[in-house]
Amino acid sequence: MSLQGAYEADNIFARIIRGEIPSAKIYEDDDVLCFMDAFPQSKGHCLVISKTSQARNLLDVEAGVLAKLAATTQRLARAVVAALNPDGVVITQFNGAPAGQSVFHLHFHVIPRFDGAPLARHGGGMADAGELKALAAKIAAKL
């Protein structure tokens, strides 16, 4: 069952944390990493992950880690709003494959919404790396 199971140390987010896969980083400290989603649903779609926890989802995470993730998610959402001026912001977090989770490393999505702009499919097309880096810098400047 995808809702439960052993943490897989070679998941894509663990590999990003270890520097094995590049990402457009927005913010990083000892505990948390924020970066642009390579398969964005909207311009400015970014992710927040723990660098220390091996929680697969919200049901597994340690309370202290969750508190840091939640605070950073709020801080990132505020920076996204300041940088991109969206009409709304969706904060999502999936638990288990039937719920939409595709990477089994706890993560939060911050997805800006713009009136009249459709939301792309979750895990759809890959974005241009240069555009992601430019957006990351714009958002990081507002943190």
What is the rounded average pLDDT for all residues in the chain?
Answer: 96
State both tokens at 11: 């998941």
Residue type, 124: G
State both tokens at 14: 């663990």
Q: Kindly report the number of other CB atoms within 10 A of residue 32's CB atom.
A: 21
Mean pLDDT for 3-26 is 96
Confidence of residue 2 (pLDDT cuts 50, 70, 90): confident
**Which sequence spans correspond to the domains of the chain?**
12-140
SS3 category, 108: strand
The confidence score (pLDDT) of residue 105 equals: 97
The confidence score (pLDDT) of residue 114 equals: 98
Catalytic: 107? Answer: yes
Which one from 45, 105, 107, 109 is the annotated catalytic residue? Answer: 107
The confidence score (pLDDT) of residue 1 equals: 59
| 32-67 residue pLDDT tens | 999 999 999 999 999 999 999 999 999 999 999 999
Asked if the model's pLDDT at residue 121 lies above 90, the reply is no
| 66-97 residue pLDDT tens | 999 999 999 999 999 999 999 999 999 999 99
The pTM score is 0.95
Domain 12-140, CATH class in plain words: alpha beta
Asked if the model's pLDDT at residue 104 lies above 90, the reply is yes
Residue type, 7: Y
